[in-house]
Structure 1
Amino acid sequence: MAKWYQNITELYTRKGFSAMIALLSALLLFSMLSFISSDNTYSIERFQLSPETIRSSKTVEDTMKTEQDRQAAIEATDPVYVFQDDAAENQAAWVQSVFESLIAAKQQELDEASSENAIRLFRDELETLSADLSNVLTDEEVQAMIEQPLSALETSANLLSKDVNAKLTEPIRSGQLTSVREQSVNEMRNRLPYSQSFETALAKIIRLAIVETEIIDEELTEERKEQAASQVEPTRILQGQLLVQKGQYVDREIYRQLELSGMISNQTSYIPFIGIALLSLLAIGSIYGAFLISKGTKKTKMKQLAVTLLVLILATLLMVITSLIDDNFTLTIAFLFPTAFVAMTVYLLTTERHAYVSIISVSLLSGYIFKEGFTSFLQTDIALYNLVGGLAGIFALKMISNNAHILKASAVVALINVLFMLAYLLLSSTSITMKDSFLFIGLALLSGMISGAFTLGTLPFFESAFSILSTMKLLELANPGHPLLKKLLMETPGTYHHSVMVANLSESACEAIGANGLFARVACYYHDIGKTRRPGFFIENQTNGYNPHDHLPPETSASIIKDHTTDGASILLQNRIPRPIIDVALQHHGTTCVKYFYFKAKKEHDAVEQENFRYSGPKPQTKEAAVISIADSVEAAVRSMQQPSSTKIKELIDSIVSDRVNDGQFDECEISMKDLVKVKESIYSTLQGFYHERIEYPKETTK
C-alpha cells in the first residue's frame, strides 16, 4: 500500500491533479446517492387494479386541476352591469320621431290624396331614422299606419312614448328584454283597439323601442374575472398524499395523478439527479475549498485532501448500507451510525479545519441518505445528530494525549449523543413508548462507542497507506517506554540526553516558523538511534576519558561517525518506525563534512578529499529536518563549550547557520531566510534558559 501511495505522490506536482481527485470523488458520491434515491416508481397500467397502496413521494402542482378551478372561478364571476340613465328619454324620443315621420306622411296623403307618395315618404324617413324598423315593417303594415286618422296616430305616439319611457326607467337586462317587450305589446293591445295590421306595426315599434337599460361593463367584468382567477390557490398533490389504495381501480384521473407525481416506472425525471449532483458538489467542494486555503507543502496538502475525501466516501458507503437495511427494522437504526468517526479520524490525520468541514459535509449527506417517509429534502434530526456528535468528537480529542484516550473521547461522544437523544425524544411530537425510548438511547450510546472503535481501527490503515504520522501515533512514539527509547537510554545515556535537548530546541523552533513541533520532538528522540550500534565511538557516551578514535585513522573514524545515520535508518526500518522519522535520521546531517577528522587527516597528509568525509545525505527535505539539523549541531557545540555565555552562544548559532547556508544544506527544502532568523532566535532563547549565568554562592565557614 505504501509503495502504491508513493507512486501516486509523483502525480502531486501535476497541474489540476487535486481538482481531478475531487471530481472523481464527487462522481463516486453521486453514484452512491443516486443508488438510494427515494423516488419510488411503480409499474401500473390504466383501468387495472393497483398492486399496492401508493402515496406521492413529493409535492407537485396539479396544473390541469388548477386551471379547471380558475376557469370555474371565472365562470362563477357575475358580470358587472351599468345602468343607462338616458335610455328612457332617448328611446321615448325615438318613438316620437317615428310617429312624427308617420304623421308627416299622413299629412302629405291628405294634401295630395295619394297614399303611394305618403308611403314612399315614410319609407325614406324610416331608412334614415331606423333601418331596422323599415326592414321589419311590411307594406301592408305601412299602408295600415298611413290610413289611420291623425288623432289615432297622435294618441298612439303619446301612449307608446310614455310606456317606453316608463319601462326604461327600470333596469332591464338582455335576458329580460323579451318578457318586457311582450308585456308592453299586450298592454298596448288592451288599450288601443285598432286593426290587426296597425297593432302589429305598433308591436314592432314597441319591440325595437324597448332596449337593455343595464349593459355589461366588459372592462370591469374582465378585471373581476382576472381577480377571481388570481385568488384561486394552486391545486397541489401533497407529499405523502394517498393517490390510490391497494386493489383500487386505476381510472384516468388516478393515473394522471400518478404520472404527475412521477410514480409511474416508465417515466424518467432528471430533476432529482440534478439535485443529487449539486449536493455531491457541495459536499466535496467544501472539502476542496479547505484544501485550497490550507497551509503547508503541496504534498502535505494533497495527503490531507486524499485522506479527508476517502474518509467521507467510506462514511457515505457505510450510511448507504445502513439505509438499505433500515427497512428491516421497526424503528430507524440511522442513530446507530458512528457520528464522530469522520470528525475524529480526519482530525487525527489532518487538521482541525478539515475535521470541521468534513463533519458538516457528512451531516448534510446523512440527512439526505437517512430521510424517511416523505421528508422533502433532509431528515434534519439525523443531520443534527451527526453534527453534534462530530463536534463533540473534535472537542474531546483536543483534551487527549494518546491513543488510549480515543476511547475516552468516544465516551464523551456517547454522552453527548445520549443527551441529544433525550432532547429529541422529549421534544418529538410523535408518541414513543418507554421501550422504544430506551432503544433509541441505546443506539446513541453504541454510536459513540463505535465511533471510537472505528477510529482506532482505521487509523493504522490510513497511517500506513498515506505515510501519515498522526498526533496519536506521534504521542505513542514519544512514550519513554517505547523499546527503542529504552534501548537508547540504557545503551547510550549520553545520546539520550542529547536527543532530549535537541528535541526541546527543535520543537520550539519549529513552532516559531509554523512547522510541526510535535513531529520534530519525536523525530529528535530517534534521530541518533544509530549510535546504539557503536556507542563508545561517540563522545557523549565515552567514560573514563577513553576515546577509541585516538587509535584509529581519521578516515576510519569519520566512516564510523557517518554510519550512525544509515545505521539509525536501518534500525528504525526494522522496528517499523514511520518513514518520516527514518527520513530525519538520514537527513539531519545532510551532506555536511565531519570536520574534526577531516582536518586531522589533512594534518597527516595533504592529499585528502573532503567528499570522503561528508555524510551520504540526503540534504534536509523538510523544514522540520532543517531545524533538527541546526539544533543537533548547536546543542553538541554548546555542550562542548567550557564557559558558555550569551554572546558566545549567539555567535555560535549564527556561525553554524551561516555555515549550513553557505554549504547549500537547505537548498532542497522550503525553509526561508526569514524562517532561519526565527529559528536562530528560538534556539538562542531556549539555550538561554538552559545555560543562564548563575551567581556564585559563598563557601560555608566553620567556627
Structure 2
Amino acid sequence: MRQKARDLFEKLGYRKIMMAGMLLTGIILYGFLLDSVQSDTYDIQLFQLSQETIRSEKTVEDPVKTELERQRLTEEVAPSYQFMSEIVDNQTALVASIFGYILEVKAPPEQEEDRLTKEEMIEKLREDLRLLETSDNGLRLTDDMLSSLLSLSEARLLNVQKELNNLLESSLNESIRVEEVARYRTEIEQEIRRNETIPNDIIQAAVTIGRFGIIANEVVNEELTAKQVEQIRNSVEPTRILQGQVLVQEGQVIDREVYRQLELAGMTEERLNYKPLLGLFIFVIIAVGLLFIVISRSKKDDEHKITEMLVVMVATSISLILMKLLSAISNNFDLVISFFFPTALAGMLVCLLVNERAAVYVTIFVSAAAGLMLPSGYSATLQVDVAFYILFGGLTAIYLIDRVGGRGRLLHISLAVAFANALFVAFYLLLGQTQYSWSEIAFYFSAAVVSGLLSGALAIGFLPFFESAFGMLSTMRLIELSNPNHPLLKKILMETPGTYHHSLMVANLADASCEAIGANGLLARVGCYYHDIGKTKYPQFFIENQVNIENPHDRLPPEKSRDIILAHGIQGAQMLKKHKMPKEIIDVAAQHHGTSLLKFFYYKAKETNPDVDENTYRYEGPKPQTKEIAIISIADSLEAAVRSMKEPTSEKIKKLVDSIVEDKLKDGQFEECDISLKELKKVKEVMCDTLNGIFHSRIEYPKETN
C-alpha cells in the first residue's frame, strides 16, 4: 500500500496532491459542520396546539414590537413651543389699520359733491376690510358695528384704538397657546366691557376687534419637535426575541402573534438561509488555509508533508465523528454531556505523530468546531464554554507530552488533562448564575475526569493504527524502542558489549548534533542503538568486541574479511525487518555506511593484487537519505576513530572531525540527502564540543609519599 502511495506521489507531484488533500479536508469539514449551523424548523399551523415546547435558537429583532414601542413613546413626546414676540406689534398694527380705514373714510372730501353717504362709507369700509375678513381669524364686523364706529368723532376713535391696543399688548405679552386663545379672547372681551372710556354704542364693535386681535403667540416649533421625536425613536432599543426564549409551550394554541414570532425566528418552515452557509464557508477557508501554512512550514520533505496532512485530517475527522455521536444523544439528557468529549485526543495524536505546532493548530480548530457542534444551550451558534474546555484540555496534553517516558506512562498525561478539565468545570460552575445540585456537580466533575482518561486511552488505541497506516514513527514508539529492556538491545548488550558501548557513544553525538540543526534527535539516538545490530552475527570480527582475543582478520584473506564487514549493514536491516521494526530504524542500519570504501582491507588486498576493483570493497548502500542518517554516519566513523586515538586533544579532535566530514563530502556520501554545508559546519562544532567533554584532560594528582 505504501509503495502504491509513493508511486501516486511521484506521478502527480507534491503540489497537486496537497491541493487535492486540502480540498478534500475542506469538504469533510464543511460536511460535518453543516448541520450545526442550520436552525431546526417545525411543522406548525395557525390555531393548532403545539406538540412541544419551542425555544428560539437565535436572538433576532422583532420589528413589529419595536415599531409599536417607538410609536408609543413618540405619542408621549410633548411639542416644543416658541414664543413669537413680534405678534404683539403685528396685531396692534392690524387694529391701527382698521381704525385707519375708518378715519380715512370719514375724512371730508376736497369737493362737496364727492362726499359719501353712510351706506357708501360702509360699503367702502367693507371693501377695505375684505382681506381681514378672509384671514384665519376672520374679522366679522356687521354693518351696524361699522355704522356705530363711523358715527364717532376722530378723537374718540383714536381713543378707542389706544385702549384696544393697550389691552391687546397686555394680553399678547403673555404666552398664549392655541388651546388658550378662547380663554384670552373672553378675558379681553370682559376687559373691554368694563372699560368706561369706550362708548356703549360701539362696545360690540370694540369686542369684535379685540377678540380678533387675540391669537396664539406661542406656537409649536415643528423642526425642534421633529428632532425630539427622531431622538426618541432612535433611543428606543430594538425589541428582541432572545436565544433560548420560550416562544410557545407544549399544548399552547399557536395564535397569530406566536406564529409571527416563530416565523421571525425562522422556525416555521424549511427555508434556506444563506448567511450561516456563507459564514461556515469562510470558517472552513480559514481552517484549511491555516492547515496549509502549518504543513508547508514543516522541515520534512514533500512526501512527509503529505503524510502529515493526512494524519491531521484523519485525527480531526475522528474528533468530529465523536462530536456527532455526542450531539446525537445529547437530547436524551437534561445535563450538558459535551464535557465527556475527549479534549486532548486529537492534540495527543498529532503531537506524537507530527509536531507540536500542528498539534496546537488541531487543538484550536477542534475546540472551535466543538463550539459549533456540541450543544450546551439553545442556539446553533458558537458555544464558548465547550470551546474553551477542549482548548485548555488539549493544550495541557500537548505541553506535557514530551515529559513522559513511554506509552504506559501516557496515563500521567491523561490524569493531568483530567485535572485541567476539572479546573475548567469548576470555573464553569462558579461563573454561571445557575444553581446546581450536588448530583449535578458530581456529574460534571465525573465527566471532566472521564474526558481526560478517555483522551489517553483512545490515543493509545489509535496510535498503532496511525503508525501502521501511514508508516509513521511516533515519539512514544521511539521512547519505547529506547528502553534497554527491549529484546534486541539486550541481544546487543549480551552478545556484543563493545558494540553496545560504541552505539551509546554514537547516539550521544548524533542526538546533540541533530538537535542543533533542527533534525529529529530522538530518532537519531534510537537509530544509533540499533544501527550495528548486524554485528551480532559475527561479533568477534569487529574490533570493539575483541577483548583479550586474537584479531581473526589476521588469519583471513582481505576478501573474506571484506565480506564479513560489509555484510553487517545488510544483515542488521534484515534482522530489524524480521522483528517488524519501524522503517526509519531499518534505514539507519542499511544506510549509515552509505557506499563508503572499506579502506583498510581494500589497500590490504591491493598489496597482493594492484588491479583489485575498488567497488567490490564498498558498502552496498544506499547513501544516507535523511539528515539524521547522514549525521549518524559521521558520528559512527568519528567515534571509532577517536577511540583509537592516543591522548586525544581538542586540536586533534577538531582535525579528525574536519577530516572525516571532508572525506565523506568528497566521496559523495551526502549527495542524496538535504543536509547543507552550513548544517555540516554546525554538526562539526557540536561533535567537537561533545567529544571534548568526553575526553577532557584529567588532572594528575601527585603520588603520596610516606
Pick the TM interval, shorter chain: 0.7 to 0.9
CA distance in structure 2 between the partners assigned to 1:418 and 1:370 by the alignment: 18
Identity %: 45
| 1:403 has 2:407 as partner | yes
Give 1:200 deviation, angstroms.
Answer: 9.2
Q: Distance in 2 between matches of 1:133 and 1:685?
A: 113
SS in 2 for 1:82: strand
Deviation at 1:669, TM superposition (A): 1.3
Counterpart of 1:342, as a letter, is: A
* Alpha-carbon contact 1:36-1:320 (below 8 Å) kept: no
Correspondence list, 1:460-609, <5 A: 460-542=464-546, 544-547=549-552, 550-552=555-557, 554-609=558-613
> How many Å separate the matches in 1 of 2:493 and 2:293?
46
Q: Which one-letter code corresponds to 1:75 in the other structure?
A: E
Q: Report the Cα offset of residue 453 of structure 1.
A: 0.5
Aligned to 1:15, the other structure's residue is in SS state helix
Deviation at 1:584, TM superposition (A): 1.4
- Out of 248, 259, 265, the residue aligned to residue 263 of structure 2 is 259
Alignment of 1:174-213 (within 5 A): 174-177=178-181, 205=209, 208-213=212-217
Q: In the aligned structure 1, how far is the partner of 2:138 from the partner of 2:386?
A: 85
1:419 deviation in Å?
A: 4.2
Given residue 276 of structure 1, which amino acid in structure 2 is its aligned partner?
L
Q: What is the CA distance between 1:215 and its match in structure 2?
A: 1.7
1:118 — aligned with what?
A: 121
1:414: Cα distance to partner? 2.5
Q: Secondary structure at the match of 1:681?
A: helix
**Can you list the C-alpha shifts for 1:395-443, whole angstroms capped at 9, x where unaligned?**
4433311211112222232334334434544555322222232232222
- Let me know the Cα RMSD of the aligned residues: 3.8
Question: Deviation at 1:662?
Answer: 0.7
- AA aligned to 1:417 is N
Counterpart Cα distance in 2 of 1:575 and 1:63: 73
Alignment of 1:367-516 (within 5 A): 367-374=371-378, 377-425=381-429, 428-516=432-520
Q: Partner amino acid for 2:527?
A: A
Amino acid at match of 1:522: V
Q: Note closer, same or farther for the CA distance 1:350–1:160 as it changes in structure 2 (3 Å cut).
A: same
Partner of 1:98: 98
Quote the residue 1:633 is aligned against.
637
| Counterparts of residues 10-409 of structure 1 (less than 5 Å) | 10=10, 14-15=14-15, 18=18, 21-37=21-37, 39-108=39-108, 112-115=114-117, 118=121, 121-122=124-125, 125-126=128-129, 130=132, 132=134, 141=143, 145=147, 148-151=150-153, 154=157, 164-165=168-169, 167-177=171-181, 205=209, 208-374=212-378, 377-409=381-413
Question: Is contact 1:12-1:299 (8 Å) kept?
Answer: no
Given that 1:81 and 1:217 are in contact with CA atoms closer than 8 Å, whether structure 2 keeps it comes out as yes
Tell me the TM-score normalised to structure 2 length: 0.87
1:667 deviates by: 1.4
Q: 1:135 to 1:126 in 2, by over 3 A?
A: farther
Q: CA deviation at 1:328?
A: 1.2
Cα 1:199/1:242, change in 2 over 3 Å: farther
Gap change, CA 1:199 and 1:566, over 3 Å in 2: same
User: Against the structure 1 CA distance between its residues 50 and 423, is the aligned structure 2 distance closer, same or farther, given a 3 Å change threshold?
Assistant: closer
Q: Is the 8 A contact 1:557 1:597 kept in 2?
A: yes
1:188 shift after superposition: 7.8
Whole-Å separation in 1 of the counterparts to 2:628 and 2:93: 114
- Quick one: structure 1 residues 576 and 390, their matched pair in 2 at CA, closer, same or farther if it must change by over 3 Å? same
TM-score when normalising by structure 1: 0.87
Measure the CA separation in 1 of the matches of 2:234 and 2:491.
Answer: 87
Q: Give the Cα–Cα distance (whole angstroms) in 2 for the partners of residues 429 and 138 of structure 1.
A: 76
Find the aligned partners of 1:695 and 1:220 in 2 and give their Cα distance: 100
Gaps of 5+ in 2: none
| In 2, Cα distance between equivalents of 1:134 and 1:321 | 81
Per the alignment, do residues 221 and 411 of structure 1 end up closer, same or farther by CA in structure 2, a change over 3 Å counting?
Answer: closer
Residue range with higher mean Cα deviation, 4-13 or 498-507: 4-13
- CA 1:346–1:124 in structure 2 vs 1: closer, same or farther (change >3 Å)? same
SS at match of 2:407: coil
Supply the AA of the counterpart residue of 1:33: L
Deviations 1:665-701 (A, max 9, x none): 1112122222222322333333344445567789999
